[in-house]
A and B are shown apart, each in its own frame.
Chain A
Amino acid sequence: MYENPDGVMIGLEVHVQLNKLKTKIFCGCSTDYHNDPPNSHVCPVCLGLPGSMPVINKKAVEAAIKVGLAFNCTVEERTQFYRKNYFYPDLPKAFQITQYDFPISSNGYVIIEGEDGEHKVRINRAHMEEDPGRLVHEGTIDKSKYTLIDYNRSGMALLEIVSEPDMRSPKEARRYLDKLRNIIEYLDVSDADLEGAMRVDANISIMGGQRAEIKNISSFKGAERAMLFEIVRQKNVLRRGGVVVQETRHFDEAREITLSMRSKEEAHDYRYFPEPDLVPLKISGWAPAIKETLPELPDARRMRFVEQYGITDDHAKSLTGELVWANYYEDVLKSYENEYGEKLDPKFAAAWINDTLKGEMNYRGTSLTFKVGSVTHYAVNKEYTVAIIRFLNLKTITKNNAIYLFRKLLDEPKGGDYYRPVRNSPDSAENYLMLTLEKEGLLKVEGDIVETAAEEAITENPQSVADYRAGKEKALNALVGAVMKKTRGRADARTAREILLEKLG
Protein backbone atom coordinates (compact mmCIF):
# COMPACT_ATOMS: atom_id res chain seq x y z
CA MET A 1 0.00 0.00 0.00
CA TYR A 2 1.47 3.34 -1.05
CA GLU A 3 1.09 5.92 1.67
CA ASN A 4 1.62 9.12 -0.32
CA PRO A 5 2.98 11.03 2.67
CA ASP A 6 2.63 14.48 1.09
CA GLY A 7 -0.83 13.87 -0.30
CA VAL A 8 0.37 14.54 -3.83
CA MET A 9 -2.42 14.73 -6.41
CA ILE A 10 -1.55 15.05 -10.05
CA GLY A 11 -3.99 15.40 -12.93
CA LEU A 12 -2.79 15.68 -16.51
CA GLU A 13 -4.20 17.27 -19.64
CA VAL A 14 -2.51 15.80 -22.67
CA HIS A 15 -2.94 17.30 -26.14
CA VAL A 16 -2.51 14.69 -28.82
CA GLN A 17 -2.17 15.96 -32.37
CA LEU A 18 -4.06 13.68 -34.75
CA ASN A 19 -1.32 14.08 -37.33
CA LYS A 20 -2.04 10.78 -39.06
CA LEU A 21 -5.08 12.39 -40.67
CA LYS A 22 -4.52 13.61 -44.21
CA THR A 23 -6.12 16.97 -43.57
CA LYS A 24 -6.67 19.43 -40.75
CA ILE A 25 -9.75 19.31 -38.56
CA PHE A 26 -11.90 21.93 -40.31
CA CYS A 27 -10.39 22.46 -43.77
CA GLY A 28 -8.81 20.64 -46.68
CA CYS A 29 -5.21 21.70 -45.94
CA SER A 30 -2.65 18.93 -45.75
CA THR A 31 -1.18 17.95 -42.38
CA ASP A 32 2.15 17.16 -44.00
CA TYR A 33 3.79 20.53 -43.42
CA HIS A 34 6.76 19.67 -41.23
CA ASN A 35 9.37 20.07 -43.95
CA ASP A 36 7.71 22.96 -45.78
CA PRO A 37 8.09 26.74 -45.59
CA PRO A 38 5.95 28.70 -43.12
CA ASN A 39 2.41 29.64 -44.14
CA SER A 40 2.42 27.30 -47.13
CA HIS A 41 -0.24 24.91 -45.77
CA VAL A 42 -2.98 27.41 -45.05
CA CYS A 43 -6.34 28.33 -46.55
CA PRO A 44 -9.04 30.89 -45.73
CA VAL A 45 -10.37 28.59 -42.99
CA CYS A 46 -7.23 27.83 -40.96
CA LEU A 47 -5.90 31.33 -41.59
CA GLY A 48 -9.16 32.65 -40.11
CA LEU A 49 -9.85 34.89 -43.09
CA PRO A 50 -13.10 36.83 -42.81
CA GLY A 51 -16.02 34.87 -44.25
CA SER A 52 -14.45 31.43 -44.04
CA MET A 53 -16.32 28.60 -42.31
CA PRO A 54 -15.25 25.35 -40.65
CA VAL A 55 -16.48 21.90 -41.67
CA ILE A 56 -15.57 18.95 -39.45
CA ASN A 57 -13.34 16.19 -40.78
CA LYS A 58 -15.22 12.90 -40.44
CA LYS A 59 -12.04 10.90 -39.90
CA ALA A 60 -11.08 13.18 -37.00
CA VAL A 61 -14.34 12.30 -35.29
CA GLU A 62 -13.73 8.62 -35.88
CA ALA A 63 -10.20 8.91 -34.48
CA ALA A 64 -11.53 10.69 -31.40
CA ILE A 65 -14.08 7.92 -30.82
CA LYS A 66 -11.33 5.32 -31.20
CA VAL A 67 -9.24 7.01 -28.54
CA GLY A 68 -12.25 7.43 -26.26
CA LEU A 69 -13.08 3.74 -26.52
CA ALA A 70 -9.46 2.70 -25.96
CA PHE A 71 -9.57 4.66 -22.69
CA ASN A 72 -12.82 2.99 -21.69
CA CYS A 73 -14.81 6.19 -22.11
CA THR A 74 -18.50 6.54 -22.85
CA VAL A 75 -19.11 8.07 -26.27
CA GLU A 76 -21.79 10.68 -25.76
CA GLU A 77 -25.19 10.57 -27.46
CA ARG A 78 -24.71 14.06 -28.80
CA THR A 79 -21.60 16.15 -29.13
CA GLN A 80 -21.03 19.74 -30.12
CA PHE A 81 -18.32 22.33 -30.68
CA TYR A 82 -17.89 25.55 -28.75
CA ARG A 83 -15.90 28.71 -29.17
CA LYS A 84 -13.32 29.48 -26.52
CA ASN A 85 -12.74 33.20 -26.85
CA TYR A 86 -9.33 34.66 -26.10
CA PHE A 87 -6.72 36.71 -27.89
CA TYR A 88 -3.25 35.45 -28.71
CA PRO A 89 -1.12 36.04 -31.81
CA ASP A 90 -1.12 32.32 -32.67
CA LEU A 91 -4.92 32.15 -32.71
CA PRO A 92 -6.10 33.56 -36.05
CA LYS A 93 -9.81 33.85 -35.25
CA ALA A 94 -9.22 34.96 -31.65
CA PHE A 95 -11.27 31.99 -30.59
CA GLN A 96 -10.43 28.31 -30.53
CA ILE A 97 -13.03 25.87 -31.72
CA THR A 98 -13.09 23.26 -28.99
CA GLN A 99 -15.56 21.27 -26.91
CA TYR A 100 -17.08 22.27 -23.58
CA ASP A 101 -20.42 20.79 -22.59
CA PHE A 102 -21.07 17.52 -24.42
CA PRO A 103 -17.47 16.42 -25.18
CA ILE A 104 -17.25 13.48 -27.55
CA SER A 105 -16.26 11.00 -24.83
CA SER A 106 -15.95 11.00 -21.06
CA ASN A 107 -15.77 8.90 -17.88
CA GLY A 108 -13.05 6.44 -18.82
CA TYR A 109 -10.00 5.03 -17.12
CA VAL A 110 -6.63 3.51 -17.75
CA ILE A 111 -4.67 1.06 -15.61
CA ILE A 112 -1.03 1.94 -14.97
CA GLU A 113 1.72 0.36 -12.94
CA GLY A 114 1.49 2.44 -9.81
CA GLU A 115 3.65 2.90 -6.74
CA ASP A 116 2.02 -0.18 -5.24
CA GLY A 117 1.02 -2.35 -8.18
CA GLU A 118 -1.84 -1.81 -10.60
CA HIS A 119 -3.35 1.64 -10.27
CA LYS A 120 -6.44 3.04 -11.93
CA VAL A 121 -6.34 6.57 -13.35
CA ARG A 122 -9.76 7.92 -14.23
CA ILE A 123 -10.20 9.84 -17.48
CA ASN A 124 -12.56 12.78 -17.08
CA ARG A 125 -12.98 13.41 -20.80
CA ALA A 126 -11.34 13.32 -24.20
CA HIS A 127 -12.41 16.15 -26.46
CA MET A 128 -11.62 17.50 -29.91
CA GLU A 129 -10.22 20.92 -30.71
CA GLU A 130 -8.10 22.82 -33.22
CA ASP A 131 -4.42 23.59 -32.82
CA PRO A 132 -3.26 27.23 -32.94
CA GLY A 133 -0.37 28.39 -35.12
CA ARG A 134 3.28 28.46 -34.12
CA LEU A 135 5.11 31.50 -32.76
CA VAL A 136 8.78 32.03 -33.43
CA HIS A 137 10.82 34.39 -31.27
CA GLU A 138 14.21 35.80 -31.87
CA GLY A 139 16.02 34.46 -28.85
CA THR A 140 13.71 34.06 -25.88
CA ILE A 141 10.04 34.98 -25.62
CA ASP A 142 10.73 37.80 -23.16
CA LYS A 143 13.63 39.36 -25.06
CA SER A 144 12.48 39.05 -28.67
CA LYS A 145 11.69 42.42 -30.24
CA TYR A 146 8.99 40.95 -32.47
CA THR A 147 7.14 37.70 -33.02
CA LEU A 148 6.90 35.68 -36.20
CA ILE A 149 3.80 33.60 -36.90
CA ASP A 150 3.50 30.44 -38.96
CA TYR A 151 -0.06 29.17 -39.34
CA ASN A 152 0.83 25.82 -40.93
CA ARG A 153 -0.01 24.13 -37.62
CA SER A 154 -3.20 26.17 -37.22
CA GLY A 155 -6.24 23.93 -37.51
CA MET A 156 -4.45 20.64 -36.92
CA ALA A 157 -6.83 18.27 -35.13
CA LEU A 158 -6.08 17.84 -31.44
CA LEU A 159 -7.52 15.51 -28.89
CA GLU A 160 -7.28 16.74 -25.33
CA ILE A 161 -7.29 13.86 -22.85
CA VAL A 162 -8.06 15.07 -19.34
CA SER A 163 -7.38 12.80 -16.38
CA GLU A 164 -8.72 13.06 -12.86
CA PRO A 165 -6.08 13.97 -10.23
CA ASP A 166 -5.42 10.31 -9.55
CA MET A 167 -1.65 10.17 -9.80
CA ARG A 168 0.25 10.26 -6.54
CA SER A 169 3.80 10.89 -7.70
CA PRO A 170 5.68 12.20 -10.71
CA LYS A 171 6.70 8.62 -11.37
CA GLU A 172 3.07 7.56 -11.66
CA ALA A 173 2.42 10.55 -13.87
CA ARG A 174 5.29 9.50 -16.10
CA ARG A 175 3.91 5.95 -16.26
CA TYR A 176 0.53 7.33 -17.20
CA LEU A 177 2.07 9.40 -19.98
CA ASP A 178 4.01 6.43 -21.31
CA LYS A 179 0.89 4.32 -21.23
CA LEU A 180 -1.07 7.01 -23.00
CA ARG A 181 1.55 7.35 -25.70
CA ASN A 182 1.65 3.57 -26.05
CA ILE A 183 -2.12 3.33 -26.57
CA ILE A 184 -2.18 6.26 -29.00
CA GLU A 185 0.60 4.58 -30.96
CA TYR A 186 -1.34 1.31 -31.19
CA LEU A 187 -4.44 3.21 -32.35
CA ASP A 188 -2.42 4.67 -35.21
CA VAL A 189 -3.95 8.14 -34.85
CA SER A 190 -0.83 10.12 -34.09
CA ASP A 191 2.85 9.98 -34.87
CA ALA A 192 4.30 10.89 -31.50
CA ASP A 193 7.74 11.48 -32.98
CA LEU A 194 6.67 14.60 -34.87
CA GLU A 195 7.39 17.92 -33.22
CA GLY A 196 4.61 19.01 -30.91
CA ALA A 197 2.61 15.82 -31.38
CA MET A 198 2.02 15.50 -27.63
CA ARG A 199 1.91 18.37 -25.16
CA VAL A 200 1.17 18.23 -21.46
CA ASP A 201 -0.36 20.54 -18.86
CA ALA A 202 -0.09 19.29 -15.29
CA ASN A 203 -2.30 20.10 -12.29
CA ILE A 204 -0.46 19.45 -9.06
CA SER A 205 -1.37 19.86 -5.42
CA ILE A 206 -0.11 18.55 -2.12
CA MET A 207 -1.97 18.21 1.15
CA GLY A 208 -2.74 21.58 2.68
CA GLY A 209 -2.49 23.64 -0.51
CA GLN A 210 -4.35 24.50 -3.66
CA ARG A 211 -3.45 23.25 -7.08
CA ALA A 212 -1.06 24.82 -9.55
CA GLU A 213 -1.46 24.33 -13.28
CA ILE A 214 1.88 23.93 -15.03
CA LYS A 215 1.89 24.90 -18.69
CA ASN A 216 4.44 24.88 -21.47
CA ILE A 217 5.67 21.33 -20.91
CA SER A 218 6.87 20.05 -24.24
CA SER A 219 8.23 16.61 -23.43
CA PHE A 220 7.39 13.72 -21.13
CA LYS A 221 10.78 13.93 -19.52
CA GLY A 222 10.14 17.64 -18.96
CA ALA A 223 6.80 16.78 -17.40
CA GLU A 224 8.40 14.61 -14.76
CA ARG A 225 11.01 17.27 -13.96
CA ALA A 226 8.41 20.02 -13.79
CA MET A 227 6.33 17.97 -11.36
CA LEU A 228 9.31 17.09 -9.17
CA PHE A 229 10.26 20.74 -8.95
CA GLU A 230 6.72 21.84 -8.29
CA ILE A 231 6.20 19.41 -5.42
CA VAL A 232 9.39 20.57 -3.74
CA ARG A 233 8.34 24.19 -4.26
CA GLN A 234 4.93 23.63 -2.74
CA LYS A 235 6.38 21.74 0.22
CA ASN A 236 8.82 24.57 0.86
CA VAL A 237 6.02 27.14 0.76
CA LEU A 238 4.03 25.19 3.33
CA ARG A 239 7.04 24.50 5.50
CA ARG A 240 7.73 28.22 5.70
CA GLY A 241 4.16 28.71 6.81
CA GLY A 242 3.07 30.11 3.46
CA VAL A 243 -0.04 29.43 1.40
CA VAL A 244 -0.03 27.51 -1.88
CA VAL A 245 -2.46 29.46 -4.06
CA GLN A 246 -4.31 28.31 -7.14
CA GLU A 247 -2.44 29.66 -10.12
CA THR A 248 -1.01 28.96 -13.54
CA ARG A 249 2.73 28.45 -13.71
CA HIS A 250 5.02 28.33 -16.68
CA PHE A 251 7.68 25.61 -16.96
CA ASP A 252 11.07 26.95 -17.92
CA GLU A 253 12.53 23.92 -19.65
CA ALA A 254 16.11 25.20 -19.67
CA ARG A 255 16.22 25.99 -15.97
CA GLU A 256 13.86 23.17 -14.99
CA ILE A 257 11.81 25.40 -12.75
CA THR A 258 8.22 26.65 -12.78
CA LEU A 259 7.42 30.36 -12.74
CA SER A 260 4.26 32.13 -11.69
CA MET A 261 2.27 33.72 -14.50
CA ARG A 262 -0.11 35.66 -12.30
CA SER A 263 -0.92 38.97 -13.91
CA LYS A 264 -3.71 40.87 -15.57
CA GLU A 265 -2.95 38.87 -18.71
CA GLU A 266 -4.14 35.75 -16.96
CA ALA A 267 -7.55 37.19 -16.11
CA HIS A 268 -9.30 34.99 -18.65
CA ASP A 269 -12.99 34.73 -19.23
CA TYR A 270 -13.36 32.44 -22.20
CA ARG A 271 -17.04 33.20 -22.85
CA TYR A 272 -17.75 29.73 -24.24
CA PHE A 273 -20.73 29.43 -26.53
CA PRO A 274 -21.74 26.86 -29.17
CA GLU A 275 -20.01 27.39 -32.54
CA PRO A 276 -22.90 28.55 -34.74
CA ASP A 277 -21.13 27.46 -37.93
CA LEU A 278 -20.93 23.80 -36.91
CA VAL A 279 -24.01 21.68 -36.32
CA PRO A 280 -24.26 19.16 -33.47
CA LEU A 281 -23.15 15.57 -34.02
CA LYS A 282 -25.16 12.51 -33.09
CA ILE A 283 -22.56 9.80 -33.34
CA SER A 284 -23.02 7.45 -30.40
CA GLY A 285 -24.35 4.90 -32.89
CA TRP A 286 -20.92 4.78 -34.48
CA ALA A 287 -19.19 3.51 -31.35
CA PRO A 288 -20.05 -0.22 -31.65
CA ALA A 289 -18.78 -0.41 -35.23
CA ILE A 290 -15.62 1.52 -34.39
CA LYS A 291 -15.06 -0.69 -31.36
CA GLU A 292 -14.98 -3.67 -33.74
CA THR A 293 -12.13 -2.07 -35.65
CA LEU A 294 -10.00 -1.27 -32.60
CA PRO A 295 -6.62 -2.95 -32.84
CA GLU A 296 -5.25 -5.18 -30.08
CA LEU A 297 -4.14 -2.74 -27.40
CA PRO A 298 -0.86 -2.94 -25.42
CA ASP A 299 -2.23 -4.70 -22.33
CA ALA A 300 -4.01 -7.33 -24.38
CA ARG A 301 -0.99 -7.92 -26.53
CA ARG A 302 1.27 -8.27 -23.52
CA MET A 303 -1.01 -10.90 -22.03
CA ARG A 304 -1.21 -12.71 -25.32
CA PHE A 305 2.58 -12.75 -25.65
CA VAL A 306 2.88 -14.38 -22.25
CA GLU A 307 0.15 -16.91 -22.94
CA GLN A 308 0.85 -17.70 -26.58
CA TYR A 309 4.64 -17.60 -26.56
CA GLY A 310 5.38 -18.48 -22.98
CA ILE A 311 7.81 -15.59 -22.65
CA THR A 312 8.39 -13.78 -19.36
CA ASP A 313 6.12 -10.92 -18.42
CA ASP A 314 9.15 -8.62 -18.38
CA HIS A 315 9.92 -9.49 -21.98
CA ALA A 316 6.28 -9.17 -22.97
CA LYS A 317 6.02 -5.80 -21.28
CA SER A 318 9.17 -4.49 -22.82
CA LEU A 319 8.32 -5.68 -26.33
CA THR A 320 4.70 -4.48 -26.29
CA GLY A 321 5.72 -1.21 -24.65
CA GLU A 322 6.55 0.03 -28.12
CA LEU A 323 4.39 -1.02 -31.02
CA VAL A 324 7.31 -1.38 -33.44
CA TRP A 325 9.12 -3.82 -31.18
CA ALA A 326 6.05 -5.97 -30.66
CA ASN A 327 5.54 -6.05 -34.40
CA TYR A 328 9.20 -6.75 -35.09
CA TYR A 329 9.21 -9.64 -32.64
CA GLU A 330 6.21 -11.29 -34.25
CA ASP A 331 7.54 -10.55 -37.73
CA VAL A 332 10.77 -12.37 -36.88
CA LEU A 333 8.88 -15.38 -35.50
CA LYS A 334 6.79 -15.57 -38.65
CA SER A 335 9.69 -15.03 -41.05
CA TYR A 336 11.74 -17.67 -39.35
CA GLU A 337 9.00 -20.24 -39.77
CA ASN A 338 8.44 -19.23 -43.39
CA GLU A 339 12.11 -19.33 -44.18
CA TYR A 340 13.15 -22.51 -42.44
CA GLY A 341 9.95 -24.48 -42.16
CA GLU A 342 10.25 -24.90 -38.42
CA LYS A 343 9.05 -22.89 -35.47
CA LEU A 344 11.45 -20.58 -33.71
CA ASP A 345 11.53 -20.91 -29.94
CA PRO A 346 9.72 -17.68 -28.93
CA LYS A 347 11.59 -17.42 -25.62
CA PHE A 348 14.93 -17.67 -27.37
CA ALA A 349 13.84 -15.02 -29.89
CA ALA A 350 12.50 -12.74 -27.15
CA ALA A 351 15.80 -12.87 -25.31
CA TRP A 352 17.84 -11.98 -28.38
CA ILE A 353 15.49 -9.33 -29.74
CA ASN A 354 14.69 -7.68 -26.45
CA ASP A 355 17.89 -8.03 -24.48
CA THR A 356 20.43 -7.74 -27.24
CA LEU A 357 18.99 -5.81 -30.15
CA LYS A 358 16.60 -3.56 -28.23
CA GLY A 359 19.09 -3.15 -25.40
CA GLU A 360 21.78 -2.10 -27.83
CA MET A 361 19.48 0.33 -29.62
CA ASN A 362 18.31 1.88 -26.36
CA TYR A 363 21.93 2.26 -25.35
CA ARG A 364 22.69 4.00 -28.62
CA GLY A 365 19.46 6.01 -28.48
CA THR A 366 18.50 4.95 -31.96
CA SER A 367 15.10 3.97 -33.24
CA LEU A 368 14.00 0.66 -34.71
CA THR A 369 12.23 2.45 -37.52
CA PHE A 370 12.89 5.30 -39.89
CA LYS A 371 10.74 7.04 -42.43
CA VAL A 372 11.13 7.65 -46.12
CA GLY A 373 8.37 10.05 -47.06
CA SER A 374 5.37 8.57 -45.34
CA VAL A 375 6.62 4.96 -45.47
CA THR A 376 8.10 3.46 -42.32
CA HIS A 377 10.98 0.98 -42.53
CA TYR A 378 12.84 -1.11 -39.97
CA ALA A 379 16.35 0.18 -39.35
CA VAL A 380 17.50 -3.47 -39.27
CA ASN A 381 15.69 -5.58 -41.81
CA LYS A 382 14.16 -8.56 -40.06
CA GLU A 383 15.92 -11.03 -42.42
CA TYR A 384 19.20 -10.31 -40.65
CA THR A 385 17.81 -10.98 -37.22
CA VAL A 386 16.15 -14.16 -38.46
CA ALA A 387 19.47 -15.35 -39.93
CA ILE A 388 21.47 -14.57 -36.80
CA ILE A 389 19.03 -16.53 -34.67
CA ARG A 390 19.11 -19.35 -37.19
CA PHE A 391 22.92 -19.51 -37.00
CA LEU A 392 22.70 -19.54 -33.24
CA ASN A 393 20.25 -22.41 -33.34
CA LEU A 394 22.49 -24.35 -35.69
CA LYS A 395 25.47 -23.41 -33.53
CA THR A 396 27.10 -22.03 -36.64
CA ILE A 397 28.06 -18.96 -34.63
CA THR A 398 28.79 -18.28 -31.00
CA LYS A 399 26.84 -15.97 -28.73
CA ASN A 400 29.67 -13.50 -28.89
CA ASN A 401 29.51 -13.64 -32.67
CA ALA A 402 25.81 -12.91 -32.52
CA ILE A 403 26.30 -9.91 -30.31
CA TYR A 404 29.07 -8.72 -32.60
CA LEU A 405 26.82 -9.10 -35.64
CA PHE A 406 23.91 -7.17 -34.09
CA ARG A 407 26.30 -4.32 -33.27
CA LYS A 408 27.71 -4.44 -36.76
CA LEU A 409 24.19 -4.23 -38.22
CA LEU A 410 23.56 -1.09 -36.21
CA ASP A 411 26.84 0.48 -37.33
CA GLU A 412 25.81 0.22 -40.94
CA PRO A 413 22.62 1.09 -42.72
CA LYS A 414 20.89 -2.26 -42.90
CA GLY A 415 17.25 -1.19 -43.07
CA GLY A 416 14.79 -0.27 -45.75
CA ASP A 417 14.17 -1.54 -49.25
CA TYR A 418 17.65 -0.74 -50.51
CA TYR A 419 19.30 -3.04 -47.98
CA ARG A 420 16.70 -5.74 -48.08
CA PRO A 421 18.51 -9.08 -48.44
CA VAL A 422 17.69 -11.35 -51.37
CA ARG A 423 17.35 -14.98 -50.35
CA ASN A 424 19.52 -17.66 -51.98
CA SER A 425 21.72 -15.06 -53.61
CA PRO A 426 25.04 -13.42 -52.89
CA ASP A 427 22.93 -10.68 -51.28
CA SER A 428 21.28 -13.02 -48.78
CA ALA A 429 21.34 -12.17 -45.09
CA GLU A 430 23.20 -15.41 -44.35
CA ASN A 431 25.91 -14.53 -46.83
CA TYR A 432 26.33 -11.05 -45.48
CA LEU A 433 26.64 -12.30 -41.92
CA MET A 434 29.17 -14.99 -42.83
CA LEU A 435 31.25 -12.60 -44.90
CA THR A 436 31.26 -10.15 -42.04
CA LEU A 437 32.53 -12.72 -39.59
CA GLU A 438 35.06 -14.00 -42.10
CA LYS A 439 36.37 -10.52 -42.82
CA GLU A 440 36.94 -9.97 -39.14
CA GLY A 441 38.43 -13.43 -38.70
CA LEU A 442 35.65 -14.32 -36.33
CA LEU A 443 34.14 -17.20 -38.20
CA LYS A 444 33.45 -20.00 -35.81
CA VAL A 445 36.12 -22.71 -35.82
CA GLU A 446 35.24 -26.39 -35.84
CA GLY A 447 36.80 -29.80 -36.34
CA ASP A 448 40.60 -30.04 -36.62
CA ILE A 449 41.28 -26.58 -35.29
CA VAL A 450 39.37 -27.27 -32.10
CA GLU A 451 40.85 -30.74 -31.84
CA THR A 452 44.37 -29.31 -32.13
CA ALA A 453 43.62 -26.60 -29.63
CA ALA A 454 42.25 -29.20 -27.20
CA GLU A 455 45.35 -31.35 -27.54
CA GLU A 456 47.57 -28.34 -26.95
CA ALA A 457 45.53 -27.33 -23.92
CA ILE A 458 45.93 -30.78 -22.41
CA THR A 459 49.67 -30.77 -23.04
CA GLU A 460 50.22 -27.27 -21.70
CA ASN A 461 48.10 -27.65 -18.53
CA PRO A 462 49.20 -30.87 -16.80
CA GLN A 463 48.08 -29.61 -13.39
CA SER A 464 44.51 -29.08 -14.56
CA VAL A 465 44.53 -32.48 -16.22
CA ALA A 466 45.77 -34.04 -13.02
CA ASP A 467 43.14 -32.19 -10.94
CA TYR A 468 40.41 -33.32 -13.28
CA ARG A 469 41.56 -36.89 -13.13
CA ALA A 470 41.63 -36.61 -9.35
CA GLY A 471 37.89 -35.86 -9.51
CA LYS A 472 37.86 -32.07 -9.53
CA GLU A 473 35.23 -31.51 -12.20
CA LYS A 474 35.84 -27.78 -12.17
CA ALA A 475 39.33 -28.22 -13.51
CA LEU A 476 37.74 -28.98 -16.87
CA ASN A 477 36.58 -25.37 -17.07
CA ALA A 478 40.15 -24.16 -17.06
CA LEU A 479 40.89 -26.44 -19.99
CA VAL A 480 37.81 -25.21 -21.91
CA GLY A 481 38.97 -21.66 -21.22
CA ALA A 482 42.36 -22.48 -22.64
CA VAL A 483 40.74 -23.83 -25.82
CA MET A 484 38.63 -20.73 -26.17
CA LYS A 485 41.71 -18.55 -25.72
CA LYS A 486 43.58 -20.44 -28.38
CA THR A 487 40.68 -20.10 -30.83
CA ARG A 488 40.12 -16.45 -29.87
CA GLY A 489 36.62 -17.30 -28.78
CA ARG A 490 35.56 -18.65 -32.12
CA ALA A 491 35.06 -22.21 -30.88
CA ASP A 492 31.80 -23.37 -29.42
CA ALA A 493 32.35 -23.89 -25.73
CA ARG A 494 30.11 -26.92 -25.46
CA THR A 495 31.80 -28.61 -28.40
CA ALA A 496 35.19 -27.84 -26.89
CA ARG A 497 34.12 -29.43 -23.63
CA GLU A 498 32.90 -32.55 -25.44
CA ILE A 499 36.17 -32.88 -27.35
CA LEU A 500 38.20 -32.41 -24.18
CA LEU A 501 36.17 -35.06 -22.36
CA GLU A 502 36.70 -37.45 -25.23
CA LYS A 503 40.43 -36.84 -25.25
CA LEU A 504 40.78 -37.14 -21.50
CA GLY A 505 39.03 -40.49 -21.75
Chain B
Amino acid sequence: MITKEDLEHIGWLSRLELSDEDKEKYSPKLNSILDYFGELNEVDTEGVEPTYHVLPLYNVFREDEVGGTTTSLTQDEALSNAPRKQDGFFKAPRMM
Protein backbone atom coordinates (compact mmCIF):
# COMPACT_ATOMS: atom_id res chain seq x y z
CA MET B 1 0.00 0.00 0.00
CA ILE B 2 1.48 3.32 -1.11
CA THR B 3 0.53 6.01 1.37
CA LYS B 4 0.54 9.70 0.66
CA GLU B 5 3.87 9.94 2.48
CA ASP B 6 5.31 7.12 0.36
CA LEU B 7 4.17 8.92 -2.75
CA GLU B 8 5.82 12.12 -1.59
CA HIS B 9 9.02 10.22 -0.87
CA ILE B 10 9.19 8.42 -4.21
CA GLY B 11 8.17 11.62 -5.97
CA TRP B 12 11.18 13.25 -4.30
CA LEU B 13 13.50 10.34 -5.11
CA SER B 14 12.45 10.46 -8.76
CA ARG B 15 12.34 14.28 -8.91
CA LEU B 16 8.75 14.49 -10.08
CA GLU B 17 6.87 17.45 -8.68
CA LEU B 18 3.45 16.20 -7.64
CA SER B 19 0.61 18.52 -6.80
CA ASP B 20 -1.96 17.50 -4.21
CA GLU B 21 -4.31 16.86 -7.08
CA ASP B 22 -1.70 14.58 -8.70
CA LYS B 23 -1.30 12.65 -5.47
CA GLU B 24 -5.05 12.13 -5.22
CA LYS B 25 -5.14 11.03 -8.83
CA TYR B 26 -2.17 8.66 -8.71
CA SER B 27 -2.74 6.92 -5.40
CA PRO B 28 -5.66 4.60 -6.21
CA LYS B 29 -4.28 3.49 -9.57
CA LEU B 30 -0.81 2.86 -8.21
CA ASN B 31 -2.28 0.83 -5.41
CA SER B 32 -4.49 -1.28 -7.63
CA ILE B 33 -1.45 -2.09 -9.79
CA LEU B 34 0.62 -2.93 -6.71
CA ASP B 35 -2.19 -5.14 -5.45
CA TYR B 36 -2.06 -7.00 -8.71
CA PHE B 37 1.73 -7.41 -8.45
CA GLY B 38 1.11 -8.98 -5.06
CA GLU B 39 0.19 -12.20 -6.89
CA LEU B 40 3.93 -12.91 -7.12
CA ASN B 41 3.81 -13.79 -3.43
CA GLU B 42 2.06 -17.00 -4.47
CA VAL B 43 5.14 -18.16 -6.35
CA ASP B 44 7.62 -20.32 -4.49
CA THR B 45 11.02 -18.87 -5.35
CA GLU B 46 12.96 -20.57 -2.58
CA GLY B 47 16.44 -21.29 -3.90
CA VAL B 48 15.75 -19.67 -7.27
CA GLU B 49 18.46 -17.34 -8.59
CA PRO B 50 17.35 -14.01 -10.09
CA THR B 51 17.84 -13.52 -13.84
CA TYR B 52 19.48 -10.14 -14.39
CA HIS B 53 20.84 -10.96 -17.81
CA VAL B 54 18.92 -13.32 -20.00
CA LEU B 55 21.98 -14.48 -21.95
CA PRO B 56 25.02 -16.03 -20.25
CA LEU B 57 27.41 -13.35 -21.51
CA TYR B 58 30.65 -12.53 -19.68
CA ASN B 59 33.78 -10.47 -20.20
CA VAL B 60 32.80 -8.06 -22.92
CA PHE B 61 35.50 -5.38 -23.12
CA ARG B 62 36.77 -2.64 -25.31
CA GLU B 63 40.42 -1.79 -25.87
CA ASP B 64 41.91 1.36 -24.36
CA GLU B 65 42.01 3.21 -27.68
CA VAL B 66 40.92 6.80 -28.20
CA GLY B 67 37.97 6.81 -30.59
CA GLY B 68 37.83 3.01 -30.52
CA THR B 69 34.14 2.41 -29.87
CA THR B 70 32.87 5.98 -29.75
CA THR B 71 34.36 9.20 -31.06
CA SER B 72 34.22 12.46 -29.18
CA LEU B 73 31.82 15.15 -30.28
CA THR B 74 32.96 18.68 -30.91
CA GLN B 75 32.08 21.20 -28.22
CA ASP B 76 29.43 22.65 -30.55
CA GLU B 77 27.87 19.24 -31.11
CA ALA B 78 27.96 18.46 -27.40
CA LEU B 79 26.15 21.70 -26.61
CA SER B 80 23.87 21.65 -29.66
CA ASN B 81 20.83 20.49 -27.68
CA ALA B 82 21.51 22.41 -24.48
CA PRO B 83 18.52 24.55 -23.47
CA ARG B 84 20.95 26.91 -21.71
CA LYS B 85 24.68 27.26 -22.15
CA GLN B 86 27.46 29.73 -21.44
CA ASP B 87 31.12 29.91 -22.47
CA GLY B 88 31.24 26.29 -23.57
CA PHE B 89 29.51 25.04 -20.42
CA PHE B 90 26.04 23.67 -19.90
CA LYS B 91 24.19 26.12 -17.71
CA ALA B 92 22.30 24.65 -14.77
CA PRO B 93 20.30 26.35 -12.03
CA ARG B 94 21.84 27.52 -8.78
CA MET B 95 22.73 24.85 -6.23
CA MET B 96 21.18 26.35 -3.09
Contact = CB atoms under 8 A, between A and B. Distances in A.
Direct interface between A and B, CB < 8 A: yes
B13 A149 contact: no
B64 A21 contact: yes
A432 interface: no
A76 interface: no
Contacts of B58: 279-282
Contacts, number: 136
B93 A28 contact: no
Contacts of A61: 61
Interface string B10-34: 0011010000000000000000000
B95 A142 contact: yes
Nearest to A281: B59
Nearest to B74: A40
A136 B89 contact: yes
A104 B67 CA distance: 26
Contact of B13 (A23, A37, A146, A271): A271
Contacts of A44: 70, 73
Contacts of A45: 70
Interface residues of B, number: 38
B67 A37 contact: no
B12 to A, nearest CB: 7
Chain B binding site: helix, strand, loop or mixed by DSSP?
loop
Given A29-B72, A43-B70, A279-B57, A87 B92 contact: no
A494 interface: no
Nearest to A275: B52
Q: Is the interface of A mostly helix, strand, loop or mixed?
A: loop
Contacts of A58: 61-64
A245 interface: no
A279 B60 contact: yes
Interface string B69-82: 11111110011000
Contacts of A146: 86, 91-94
A147 B59 contact: no
B88 interface: yes
A23 B64 contact: yes
A243 B78 CA distance: 49
A150 B89 contact: yes
A28 to B, nearest CB: 4
B68 interface: yes
Given A144-B94, A283-B59, A43 B66 contact: no
A23 B59 contact: no
A440 B88 CA distance: 53
Contacts of A60: 64
A42 B81 CA distance: 14
Interface string A253-291: 000000000001001010100101011111100000000
B89 A137 contact: no
B79 to A, nearest CB: 6
B61 A27 contact: no
A148 B87 contact: yes
B65 interface: yes
A279 B56 CA distance: 9
A59 B64 contact: yes
A30 B67 CA distance: 8
B73 A47 contact: yes
A279 B64 contact: no
Closest 7 pairs (CB-CB, A-B) = A148-B89, A59-B64, A58-B61, A279-B57, A149-B90, A147-B92, A89-B92
Interface of B: 9, 12-13, 15, 52-53, 57-75, 78-79, 86-96
18 contacts: A27-B70, A28-B66, A29-B72, A37-B75, A39-B78, A39-B90, A40-B72, A56-B62, A57-B63, A58-B62, A60-B64, A89-B93, A141-B95, A146-B86, A147-B92, A148-B91, A281-B59, A282-B58
